[in-house]
Amino acid sequence: MLREMGLAPLWKLRTAPAEAPAQQALPEAAATIQDTGASSAVAGMDWEALHASIVACQACELCRARKQAVPGVGDLSPDWLFVGEGPGAEEDARGEPFVGQAGKLLDAMLAAIDLKRGNKVYIANTVKCRPPGNRTPTSTETAACWPYLERQIALLKPKLIVALGKPAAQTLLQTEVRVGEARGRLFDHGGIPLIVTYHPAYLLRTLPDKAKAWEDLCFARATMRKLLEK
């Protein structure tokens, strides 16, 4: 079963990239989305406008160090929406989410339940720009980026959302989450069922929890089957 998921214990994290140099403070004019009221503008955007807004975004400090913003990838009429944390170095360079080591594991996890990125699957992140040194995004950063994810969900209308790790789960559920306690439960995000599981990067570091991630994927697949029967 673990081999099927590509979870044989051969995965290793590459050496963590060096911290990005200290960032300049944002100019005062570059306030957060919430401050400027641009949040409601995002809420009315079509897909094209949303994409353009994300790639030009300066709503938080993360815009300073990014090579490019990473809006997301996949089927625009998906059954599944997987939400990660934020782009890493390879995603920042390529403009696509989950293309590094964690992405290879995510692809293997998808394949284990007969899914493929781009085929009824959309992959997005909680923050669209790389946190320097791959640190966890701050609550200010996730709040600044939330209108984008919220609009993506509204436009994509997935049947099921899978939150990969704590920042995604907390942002989507708007509450403190412990992944170990939240997994195995069916949550609701504005009428869309939501399941929480471990982030692939965490699984690369924590072999014993890979079997739990497999259980979570089986739960997600069973949930989707029920949703598709409706």
- What is the binding site for ligand URA (CB under 6 A)? 84-88, 91, 97-98, 100, 102-103, 125, 201
**C-beta closer to ligand URA: residue 103 or 158:** 103
Q: Which residue is nearest to ligand URA (CB)?
A: 84
Please count the other Cβ atoms lying within 10 Å of the Cβ belonging to residue 207.
Answer: 13
CB contact at 8 A, 101 and 126: no
**C-beta closer to ligand URA: residue 118 or 228:** 118
**C-beta closer to ligand URA: residue 31 or 93:** 93
CB of residue 93 to ligand URA, shortest distance in Å: 12
CB of residue 149 to ligand URA, shortest distance in Å: 12
User: b or e along 116-125 (b: 16 or more beta carbons within 10 Å of the residue's beta carbon)?
Assistant: ebeebbbbbb
CB of residue 197 to ligand URA, shortest distance in Å: 13
Q: What gap in Å lies between CA 49 and CA 31, rounded to an integer?
A: 20
CB of residue 40 to ligand URA, shortest distance in Å: 27
Q: What gap in Å lies between CA 221 and CA 134, rounded to an integer?
A: 30
Question: Both tokens of residue 195?
Answer: 């399941």
**C-beta closer to ligand URA: residue 86 or 193:** 86
**Burial status of residue 40 (CB atoms within 10 A of its CB: 0-12, 13-18, 19 or more):** exposed
